[in-house]
Amino acid sequence: MLINPIQQIRGQRQRGWNGNRSVPPLNLAYVAALTPADWEIRIVDENGGQDAKSCAAFEPDLVGISSYTATIPRAYELAHHFRSLGIPVVIGGYHASVLPEEVTQYADVAFVGQAEGAWPRLLDDLGHGQLQPIYDGGTPPLDGLPLPRRDLYPHRYHFDAVLTSKGCPYRCEFCSVWKLYGRRYLLRPVDEVLDEIALIPARHFFFVDDNLTADPQRAIALCKGMVERQLKKRFAIQASLEMGQNEELLRWLHRAGCFLVFVGIESLQESTLQRLRKVANLKVGVAHFAELIARIQSHGMAVSAGIIFGNDEDTLATFHDLESFVARSGVDSPVYTILTPLPGTDLWQRLENEGRLVAQDLPDGYAYFDAHHVTYQPMRVSARELLAAKYHAVRRATSGSALLRGLWRTWRRTHSLLAAVASFQNNRWAAINARPLASDL
């Protein structure tokens, strides 16, 4: 049984950003593809409404759980449940990769790194009764990856998911991605990606790459291939804002079917961007952010923008300025988050050295490391003020009237109904995700 656990806070299952059923757990589909054919496999996605404890009709010989930090308390709860039944449990994912010794206190095995590097060996050891406490899959090249077992998804998702790369060449202070991959940017051969896309029955999908356009020429080649093969798909991506400077890239993305781009704005203060080591945004220049957003939209793509509240230089006035920028620049779906020091990141290390981490009652407290709660001591505002500023920014951006205005404005900017509807749905998810925070104010 391969499990994608849901985030739980105070025993309540979370929804919205951390619990949506729109994109499938592609990582588990890859683990399934690496599993020998004589294994019967069940993928359980708690974010899609399932409860792993309730799947009594399936009696597994092994349970594998993929978890990030905010879901690790639930992963440990599930590990306890299945181990009490005599079933060995493996926990992998980001949290296990950075804190494997902690994970082995709650599971039989902590899996570090990428499944393709050690999963077959783990299964072989299990068969010989020689299961080890830690397996390290490393960061092997992505050539020749097996096709993910999409046939095992537990239900139909709104979008499919496709991987073309892992890692990111940048090294932002708050980011866990480059830490996990050692700043390596691993690439799948473009032809292998195109072959996979051609086999996907779904018309809409999401490229799960952390930065699809980090290599612009490769991204162009991928889009050209989609056009030349007449794949006729529609997709969303994550990228750096600097992609807006490349007209050729924008044209090919639009021709290939891209309808939405998520970019990390993070801050409007250069001193903050320098502290965060947001090199791509510094190269663009804050003064050009709005211009590049408009340029992306002019090529038929909506812009979803990640914005961080709670940087060391931030004051209450900073939050007001960020909201004003979102309105003025025409960001289609703002993703307001709170600075979150994930274990293993440089941000965690700095705040720990400064004595500013306020993580309590671990491991249960890890559930709050979700970019929506305050897990450190801010510099210029109180934790309560920070949480309230973020909460009210989301509510103002996602009120009923704001949702309808946004739908209309995105359609006017992009001339794409799909882009407008996707942004509308993103904003609805943001509103749902903000609801539990009201009780914390």
Confidence band of 438 (pLDDT split at 50, 70, 90): low
Q: What is the mean pLDDT of the chain?
A: 94
Q: Which residue has the tokens 């703002």?
A: 334
Cα angle for residues 296, 302, 303 (degrees, 5° grid): 75
Flag whether pLDDT at 17 surpasses 50. no
DSSP string, 93-152: SHHHHH-HHHHTTTSSEEEES-GGGTHHHHHHHHHTT---SEEE------TTPPPP-GGG
What are the structural domains, with CATH classification, of the chain? 2-136 (3.40.50.280), 159-339+376-440 (3.80.30.20)
Q: What percent of the chain has pLDDT over 90?
A: 87
pLDDT tens per residue, range 377-386: 999 999 999 9
- The phi and psi torsions of 314 (rounded to 5 degrees) equal -75, 140
Q: Is the peptide bond before 216 cis (omega within 30 degrees of 0)?
A: no
- pLDDT of 173 over the 50 cut: yes
Tell me the mean pLDDT in the region 107-127.
97
430 Cα distance to chain centroid: 14
Pairing of strands 2-4, 89-92: unpaired
Label residue 109 by pLDDT band (50, 70, 90).
very high
CA distance 288 to 297: 14
Question: Using 50, 70 and 90 to split pLDDT, how confident is the model at 20?
Answer: low
What pLDDT sits at residue 21?
Answer: 61
pLDDT at 393 over 70: yes
Report pLDDT for 436: 60
- The pLDDT score that the predictor gives to residue 80 is 98
The predicted-structure confidence for 249-271, as pLDDT tens digits, reads as follows 999 999 999 999 999 999 999 99
Q: What would the DSSP string read from start to end of 212-277?
A: TTSSHHHHHHHHHHHHHTT---EEEEEE-GGGGG-HHHHHHHHHHTEEEEEEEEE-S-HHHHHHHT
Mean per-residue pLDDT for 55-75?
93
Instruction: Pick the more confident residue, 20 or 420.
Output: 420
pLDDT at 437: 67
pLDDT at 202 exceeding the cut of 80: yes
- pLDDT over 50 (residue 98): yes
Cα separation, 187 vs 168, in Å, equals: 10
User: Could you tell me the CA-to-CA distances from 77 to 50, 322, 431 in Å, in that order?
Assistant: 15, 39, 28
Position 33 scores a pLDDT of: 98
Q: What is the mean predicted confidence (pLDDT) over 157-182? A: 90
8-state DSSP, 318 = H
pTM score of the predicted model? 0.94
